Amino acid sequence: MRSIIILACLAVTVLSCNKTAKETATSEPDMMKEVMAVHDELMPKMGEMGMLITKLENKAATAEAPEKYTEAKEGLQEGYDAMMTWMQDFGTRFSMEDIHKGKELSPEKKELLKEEMKSVKALKDKMLGSIKTAKEVLAANE
């Protein structure tokens, strides 16, 4: 009876270790795909941000109190610039093989990828928040 219990515990331990190894092996490519998915979601927003910046500049030029337009425009510009900087930094940290071909990442790059995940999520919040604010400012004053 003891042998069966020991064998069962051993089997569970081995299976859980194998599962953990598989999860670790697939987590980096999945994380890279997730980072790139956020990037791909944000890229079309860059054009929208540019159009909103122009609208806000035009409104600010003719408004008696241009501050709200200027502030919303600055938020958009910060988000736009942050995206450009993020893309440039990401491109220097990771090669095309890392990004598109699922190349095995070094331990250092794995840590960088974790940082990039946090960074791109914060970038998304910043960009979408600035777009929302700009639209609200423009809608409130039409």
**Cα 126 to Cα 121: distance, rounded to the nearest angstrom:** 9
C-beta separation of 128 from 76 below 8 A: no
**What tokens appear for 59 in the block?**
């409104």
Collapse the DSSP code of 32 into the 3-class scheme (helix H, G, I; strand E, B; otherwise coil) and give the result. helix
Task: Provide the pLDDT confidence category of residue 7 given band limits of 50, 70 and 90.
Answer: very low
C-beta separation of 46 from 80 below 8 A: yes
Instruction: Collect all residues with Cβ–Cβ distance below 8 Å to 94 and sequence separation of at least 6.
Output: 32, 109, 112, 113
Percentage of the chain beyond pLDDT 90 is 66
| Model confidence pLDDT, tens digit, residues 25-55 | 446 778 899 999 999 999 999 999 999 999 9
| Cβ atoms within 10 Å of 51's Cβ, excluding its own | 11
